[in-house]
Amino acid sequence: MKALSLFAGGGIGDLALRSAGIDMVVANELLEERADLVEFNFPDSTVISGDIWKSKESILSACKGHSIELVLATPPCQGMSKNGRGKLLSGVRDGRKDPVDPRNLLVVPTIDIFLKLDAHTLIMENVPEMKDTLIPIQEGTGFIKILDYIRFRLGQEFVSQVKVIEFADYGVPQFRQRLISIFSRHPNVVSAHKNGFSLFPSPTHSKPGTQTGLPPWRTVRDAIEHLPPLDASSTKRAESKDVNYHRVPTLDQRKYFWVSSTPPESGAFDNQCVKCGFEGNPVHGAKKNFHGINRSNKTTPIYCMECNSLLPRPTTVEANGNVRLMSGFTSAYKRMKWDEPASTLTRNLSYACSDKKLHPEQHRVLSLYEAMVIHTIDDYSYEWKRASGKKVSDKLIREVIGESIPPLGLEAVFRQALTILREGTVQADCNEFEGNLEALLRHSNEQLQLNMPIAS
Whether residues 7 and 148 fall in one domain: yes
Predicted pLDDT at 92 = 40
Instruction: Count structural domains, the chain.
Output: 2
CA 207, chain centre distance (Å): 21
What is the tens place of the pLDDT at every residue in 153-180? 999 999 999 999 999 999 999 999 999 9
Q: Which residues in the chain come in under a pLDDT of 70?
A: 77-99, 139-141, 288-295, 425-456
In a domain, 380, yes or no: no
- Please tell me whether residue 348 adopts helix, strand or coil conformation: coil
Whether residues 207 and 60 fall in one domain: yes
267 φ, ψ (degrees, to nearest 5): -120, 155
Q: What is the CATH number of the domain that holds 73?
A: 3.40.50.150
Whether residues 255 and 115 fall in one domain: no
ω before 453 within 30° of 0 (cis)? Answer: yes
**3-class DSSP string for 356-420:** CCECCCCCCECCHHHHHHHCCHHHCCCCCCCCCCCCCCHHHHHHHHHHCCCHHHHHHHHHHHHHH
Q: Closest Cα partner for 105 from 455, 425, 350?
A: 455
Distance CA(349)–CA(411), nearest Å, equals 23
What is the tens place of the pLDDT at every residue in 237-273? 999 999 999 999 999 999 999 999 999 999 999 999 9
- The whole domain housing 42 covers 2-212+406-448
Distance CA(125)–CA(165), nearest Å, equals 10
Predicted pLDDT at 424 = 79
| Secondary structure letter of residue 452 according to DSSP | S
Whether residues 354 and 410 fall in one domain: no
Predicted pLDDT at 447 = 43
Distance CA(221)–CA(338), nearest Å, equals 5
Predicted pLDDT at 93 = 46
CA distances from 210 to 48, 133, 316, 420 (A): 46, 33, 44, 29
Distance CA(86)–CA(89), nearest Å, equals 5
- Please tell me whether residue 17 adopts helix, strand or coil conformation: helix
Predicted pLDDT at 327 = 85
Whether residues 51 and 144 fall in one domain: yes
Q: Residue 125 — left, alpha, or beta (φ > 0 → left; ψ -120 to 50 → alpha)?
A: beta
Those residues with Cβ within 8 angstroms of residue 109's Cβ, 6 or more apart along the chain or in another chain: 52, 53, 56
Predicted pLDDT at 86 = 43
In a domain, 324, yes or no: yes
In a domain, 92, yes or no: yes
| Contact (CB, 8 A) for 54 and 261 | no
- Show which of 366, 398, 419 is a domain's final residue: 366
Whether residues 59 and 208 fall in one domain: yes
Whether residues 323 and 425 fall in one domain: no
Those residues with Cβ within 8 angstroms of residue 395's Cβ, 6 or more apart along the chain or in another chain: none
Predicted pLDDT at 98 = 56
Those residues with Cβ within 8 angstroms of residue 340's Cβ, 6 or more apart along the chain or in another chain: 175, 217, 219, 220
Q: What's the burial of 143, exposed, middle or buried (CB within 10 Å: 0-12/13-18/19+)? A: middle
In a domain, 374, yes or no: no
